[in-house]
Amino acid sequence: MMGNENQEGLDKKLSGKNKAKENAYETAKAGGKHYGFLQNYQERPIEELQRGVSSIKKQIADHYAKIKNPQEHIKNFEHLDQRRQKYLLESKWSSDIKRLNEQLEILEMIILLGL
């Protein structure tokens, strides 16, 4: 399980104040990362976009919960190989959170701009 110091560092790294999130929409618009995601969602009705925002926020919260207490989410987590535990805690779930935050920013910009 992660200590408070590690959790705070992860929170800062994955918060809305990182360059990747700030530029996710512009990057996608320019044909970069998440271009397909942007193309897929920009013509959808506002209600569907709002449901997408809610869904992504829930997924982000679920991933933070997994990092905070992996034993509640993975059966026998403590018996996994330590390398697997470290991968899940420090790489997999945090990169999922980063991707979800980028997608969230794209959906929010589509809503804001009324695309």
Give the pLDDT of the chain (115 residues) as one tens digit per residue: 445 555 555 555 555 444 544 589 999 999 999 999 999 999 999 999 999 999 999 999 999 999 999 999 999 999 999 999 999 999 999 999 999 999 999 999 999 998 6
pLDDT at residue 80, rounded to an integer:
96
d(CA 32, CA 97): 19
pLDDT at residue 70, rounded to an integer:
97
Q: Are 104 and 56 contacting, i.e. CB atoms less than 8 angstroms apart?
A: yes
> Angle, to 10 degrees, between the axis of helix 46-68 and the axis of helix 4-14?
160
Instruction: Tell me the one-letter amino acid at 75.
Output: K
pLDDT at residue 52, rounded to an integer:
97
d(CA 57, CA 69): 18
Q: Are 49 and 41 contacting, i.e. CB atoms less than 8 angstroms apart?
A: yes
Map tokens 């897929």 to a residue. 40
d(CA 8, CA 78): 23
